[in-house]
Amino acid sequence: MNKKKVYPIYFVFGALIIYIVLFVIPSLIGIGYSFTDWSAYSDKLKFVGLDNFKTVFSSDEDYMAIIINTLEFTFITTILKNVLGLVLALLLTKSIKFLNFHRGIMFMPSVLSTLIIGMIFQSILNPATGLLNTFLRSVGLGVFAGKWLVTSELAFGSVMAVDIWRGTGYIMTILIAGILSISTTYYEAASIDGANGIQKFRFITFPLLLPTLATTTVLNIIYGLKVFDMIYALTNGGPGKTTTEVLYTAVFKKFGTGQYAVGTALSSVMFLFMVVIGVFMIKIMTKDEVVE
Amino acid sequence: MKIWRKTLALGLAATMSLLLVACGAKETPEDTTGTSDTTPTTAAATQAPVKEDITISFMASQDWIQDAELELANKFTEETGIKVDYQIVPSDQYPSLLMTKLNTGECTDIFGGQSGQFDIQTQYNVEKNAMDLSGESWAANVDPLAAAQLTVNGALYGEPIQDVSSVWAIAYNKQIFTDLGLSIPTTYAEFTSVCDAIIAAGKIPVYEAVSDGWHHVLWLPETAVEAEVVSPGLVDKLNNNETTFAENDTLKLILTQIKEMADKGYWGDNYMSNVYADAAKNIASGEYVMVVANQGFGTEVNTLDPSFSADNIGYFVMPLADNQTLNVNPSGPSRFIYSGSKNADAAKQYLAYLASDESLAYLTENVAKFNKLPYSNAPSKYTDTIKDFYSRYPSQGTVFQTAVKYVNPQWMDMGTNISALLLGEMTPEEVLGTIDKTRAEEASAAKDAAWAE
C-alpha cells in the first residue's frame, strides 16, 4: 500500500466536528433528558433516574403495544415490499412492450408526498363513499367492502397496505438496477447447460442480487422504525387507543402535551432498537465482503 | 511541499471557522435590532393603523374558521395591505400541533385556542405564550361571561371567535318527527323509542362523526350537567380533588348509554368514518334525522339546501341519564396573539378589525350558526324555534369541560378513549379512570394545591 496516496487524518476533522456538534451531541443530550422530569409545565429540571423508562415499559401504559406495533409494521412492510419489489423487478427486466412506461407507473407512488397519499387514501378507503367500496359494490363484491381504516381488525392492515403500495416501486427500481448489473454471460452459460427460468433465478439472479436485497432491507427497516407521516395522515394512531400508533406518532403526541421527558425516553428506546438492528444488519451485510 | 500543503489546509480550516463564527455572530445584532424595532412600531400602531406589506400567520382548527371570516381577511388586506395567512389544521391533529408549536416557541402570529379560565393557564400558559389584550379597543365589548373564560389575573388574553350563546343539543328534523308521530323525548327510554321508530321507518336516527376526534366526546361532558343535578356539589368536589369521575354513577351511566346507542345502530354503520362537516348535508338529505349541533344548524342546512326550511330543525337537550338541564358553556374557540410574534401590531390591528361593528354584523349575517356573537356590539338573530328551545329548559348547568378543571385539555384523549369504548377496547369504568389519571397528571404538573400529597 502506498501511504502517500492515503489522505492525512486531519482531513476528516471538519466533517467530524460538524457531525458531532449537529448529530452526536444533540442525540446524547436527548438521551440525557430522558432521565429527567423535563416538561412544558416547569422550567426546572430534576433527575428522576429510570422513572420515564419504567413508565414506557409499565403494563398500565400502552407503550409496549406501540413498540410492538412499530416492530410489526417494520417486519411486515419490509418483507412484502422486498418480495413484491423483486417480483416486479423480475417482470420489468424482461423484454416487454412499453417497458419504461410500466416502470414509471410502478415508481410513481414513491414520488408523491406521503401526506397527500394519506389524504387520498383516507377518501378512497372511506367505508360509505370511498372509491374502493363503491367499486366492490358495483361489481357485486359488496361482501368484501370493509371499514378499512376505522375498525380494530382492518385499520393496521390497511395502513400497511397503503405503505407497501407506496414503497414497492422504489424497492423495485433499486432491484432492477441490481438485476441489470448481473452479467448476461451467466445466463447464456446456464441456457447452454439446459437450466430453466426458475433454476436461473435460484442459482444466478438471487445469489448475485443478495447484496442489493440487503441494501433494500436496511432501507426498509430504517424507514419502518421511523414511520410517521403515513400513519399520521391516515389514522393518527387510531381508531381507539393504539390500533395503529407507532413510536414516532406517540413521541409527537407526548411532545404535544408537553411531556418531553417521556417523549425523549421513547425516542431513546427507539434509538437503541435502531442501533442493535443496524449493527446486526451491517454484520450480516459485510459477512462475505472481501477486503482488498 | 509537505509544509506548504499543511499550511494551506490549516489556512482553509481557519477561514471556514471564521466564516462559521461570523455567520453565528451576525444573528445577534440583527435580533437586537428586530426587538428594538418592535417597540416604536407598537406605540405607533395604537395611534395609526400599520400600512405595510406584511403577512400575519393564523393557525386554527378546521371547524373554527368560517368562510365569512376569510372574506373579512381579504377585505382587511385590501384596506391595510396586511395579508393574513390562515393555516387551517384538521381538528384531530390541531391540539397536538398547537401545543408542539407553543412548547417549541415556533407559533404563528395568531393562534386559535379554546377559552376556559383554568385551561388557558395550565394548557396554553397564556401569561407566557400570549399577549395581554386588555387595552385593545374591543376588549370592553366582550360579553362578561365569555371574557371571564379568557382572563387570567385580571388580564384579557383572547378574542372569542364563535357564538357561545348556543348550546350543543340534539338538532332534529321536525317534519320527520311529525310524519312518524314522534314527540321530543325527555328521558333516555323515550329517546330509545324515538330512535327505534326512526330505524323502523328505514332512516338512521343520529349522525355521529367519530373520525374528527372531538364531536362524539360532546355526549359526555355536555350531559354531565345531570351528574351535578343528581349529586349537588359534585363540580366543587371534583375541583377540590375530593371525588373522582370513576366514582360517579351518572357519568358511568352516560358512557354506557353512549356505547348502547352505537351498538343498537342508532348512529348507523359509518359513524367511525363520518366527519362533522358533512352533518348538514346528511340531515338535508333525510338519510339521518338527528345530530348533536348548535342552534345555527337549521340555517346551515337551509344554506346548503334552500328547499329545507331553517325552521324545520328543532332542538332538545341530549337526554342521556334522563338529563333535562340546559347545558350552557360560556367558553369557545378564541383568537390569541402569540407573545413571540414579530407582527404583533398587525395582529392586534386584525383582531380589532374582526371585532368592529361592521365585521361582527357581517359574520352574524353570513355564518349560519352564529345567532349572537359574545360582544355587546354584535347583532342578534334568534328565531322563534330557538327561543322556544331555550325557554323549554328552565334550569341551566355549566358543562363539565368549563366547570371542572383539567377536562378540556384532554378533550382529544377523551375522544380516543371513547372511540376505544365504542370498539369494545375499554369499559366505561376504564374511560373514567383514564380521565381521572390524566387530570391528576395535569394537576400535579400545574402544582395544584388540591392534588398535592
Residue B252: all three cell numbers together: 358511568
Q: pLDDT per residue over B48-62, tens digit each?
A: 455 557 999 999 998
Amino acid A288: pLDDT: 65
Interface of A with B (CB under 8 A): 10-11, 13-14, 39-42, 126-128, 147, 149-152, 232, 236-241, 252-253, 255-258, 260
Task: Report, as an integer, the average pLDDT of A246-268.
Answer: 84
Nearest to A255 among B103, B422, B445 (CB): B103
Chain A hits for B92, CB-CB cut-off 8 Å, are 236
Is B103 an 8 Å CB contact of chain A?
yes
- pTM as predicted: 0.75
Using 50, 70 and 90 to split pLDDT, how confident is the model at A7?
A: confident
Residue A266 reports pLDDT greater than 80: yes
Mutation pick from B103, B217, B410 vs chain A, by most beta carbons of A within 10 Å, is B103
* Separation CA B313–CA B294 (nearest Å): 11
Are A108 and B250 spatial neighbours (Cβ–Cβ below 8 Å)? no
SS3 state of residue A122: helix
Phi (first) and psi of residue A217, to 5 degrees: -65, -45
Nearest to B273 among A42, A126, A240 (CB): A126
Nearest to B425 among A41, A240, A260 (CB): A240
Is the dihedral angle over the CA atoms B86, B88, B94, B97 positive or is it negative? negative
In CATH, what number does B169-328+391-451 get? Answer: 3.40.190.10
Are B219 and B292 spatial neighbours (Cβ–Cβ below 8 Å)? yes
Amino acid B27: pLDDT: 37
Is B287 an 8 Å CB contact of chain A?
no
Residue A79: all three cell numbers together: 418483507
What separation in angstroms does the CA of B163 have from each of A51, A146, A265, B294? 45, 39, 42, 9
Amino acid B37: pLDDT: 37
Chain B hits for A149, CB-CB cut-off 8 Å, are 273
Q: Distance (Å) from the C-alpha of residue A219 to the closest C-alpha of chain B?
A: 28
ipTM confidence: 0.74
Q: Which CATH superfamily is domain B47-164+331-366 in?
A: Periplasmic binding protein-like II (3.40.190.10)
* Separation CA B204–CA B401 (nearest Å): 29
Are B86 and B73 spatial neighbours (Cβ–Cβ below 8 Å)? yes
Residue of B nearest to A44 (CA): B445
Contact B93 A147 (CB under 8 A): no
Amino acid A2: pLDDT: 55
Nearest to B272 among A239, A256, A257 (CB): A239
Using 50, 70 and 90 to split pLDDT, how confident is the model at A63?
A: confident
Amino acid B33: pLDDT: 35
* Number of other CB atoms surrounding residue B122 within 10 Å: 20
* Separation CA B94–CA B158 (nearest Å): 18
Domains and CATH numbers, chain A: 66-244 (1.10.3720.10)
Residue with cell 428586530: B34
The distance of Cα B179 from the centroid of its chain, to the nearest Å, equals 36
Q: Which residues contact A127 (CB under 8 A, 6 or more apart)?
A: A133, A145, A146, A147, A148, A150, B269, B270, B272, B273
Residue B314: all three cell numbers together: 328543532
Mean pLDDT by 10 residues, chain B (453 residues): 58 52 39 36 42 85 91 94 93 84 89 89 89 94 90 94 90 96 96 97 96 94 96 94 96 97 95 92 95 91 93 95 93 93 94 95 90 90 87 90 88 92 93 93 79 76
Task: Return the closest-CA partner of residue B140 out of B402, B380, B379, B377.
Answer: B377
Chain B hits for A121, CB-CB cut-off 8 Å, are none
Contact B272 A147 (CB under 8 A): yes
Phi (first) and psi of residue B273, to 5 degrees: -105, -5
Domain ranges of chain B: 47-164+331-366, 169-328+391-451
Phi (first) and psi of residue B143, to 5 degrees: -50, 130
Amino acid B380: pLDDT: 86
Chain A hits for B61, CB-CB cut-off 8 Å, are none
